[in-house]
Every structure is written in structure tokens, then in C-alpha cells.
Structure 1
Amino acid sequence: MRPINEKHVAEPGLVVVEAAAADDKTAFAFQEALAARWATATADRTMRSPGEPGVRLRCYLDLRQTPHA
């Protein structure tokens, strides 16, 4: 994965979440759980690292905002 961009954590309440999961389904279910609670810039794909198990996903949260209903 690329390095975390400084602007994504420039203020209190901004969070970068990186998750490792066994498969895409599990990773996206985790992302949905986060998005149900906080404003989230979601990922549309996971990443695989050669030689490492499972998949990785990165999404961005703004804890200052709640998701729109």
C-alpha cells in the first residue's frame, strides 16, 4: 500500500484505517460496519501482497461527522 497522505490525518477526528482480512467479503463487511457509524470514504477494492496471506483494505474515516441516513 502507498504511504498515508498527511492530509488524511491533518486534523483531530480524521482516521486512516488499514485492515487485513482472510478475503474480500470479510474486508468489505468490516468497511460497511465502519461506514454505518461514521462518515467514511470507502475503498472499492482490496490489495494483495505477494507472500502474505489474505487481503488488505484502507479506508478513511471522519469521526467528526455521522453518516447520512
Structure 2
Amino acid sequence: MEPINELHLREPGLVVVDVAAVDDRTALAFQQELASLWATAIADRTTRDPGQPGVRLRCYLDLRQDVVVE
């Protein structure tokens, strides 16, 4: 993963979420669940670290809004 940029955390309520999962489907499904609740800058793909199991994904959330419950 790339270092977290100070711009991503410039205000209270902004969150960087790093996800480790067994496969793309799981990581992207988790990201979609987050996006259903909060404004989320989503990743369009996962990454793999050589020699490490599973996949990784980073997304950015804005918790300053109300949670959407349907």
C-alpha cells in the first residue's frame, strides 16, 4: 500500500480504510457495503503483494454525513 496522504485526513470525519481479504470478490463486496452507508471514494481494483496471501484494497470514507439505513 502507498503511504497515507495528509490530504486524505485533513478534517475530522475523513477515514482511510485498508482492507485485506482472501479474494477480489470479498474485498470489493466489503467496499460496496461501506459505500452503501457513507460517501466513499472507491477503488476499482485490488492489489496483490508478492509473497503475501490474499488481496488488498484501499478506499476513502467521509463520515461527516448521516448514515443511510434502508
Fold shared per TM-score above 0.5 = yes
Aligned-partner Cα distance in 2 for 1:40–1:55: 19
Alignment match, 1:21 = 21
Cα distance per residue 1:33-54 (max 9 Å; x no partner): 0000000000001010001000
Judge conservation of contact 1:39–1:67 (CA < 8 Å) in 2: no
Q: CA RMSD in A?
A: 1.5
Unaligned runs of 5+ in 1: none
Unaligned runs of 5+ in 2: none
Moved over 2 A (4+): 65-68
Alignment match, 2:44 = 44
Aligned-partner Cα distance in 2 for 1:67–1:44: 23
Judge conservation of contact 1:40–1:62 (CA < 8 Å) in 2: yes
Q: How does 1:1-16 map to 2 (within 5 A)?
A: 1-16=1-16
Report the count of equivalent residues.
68
TM-score, scaled relative to structure 1: 0.92
Aligned-partner Cα distance in 2 for 1:2–1:32: 21
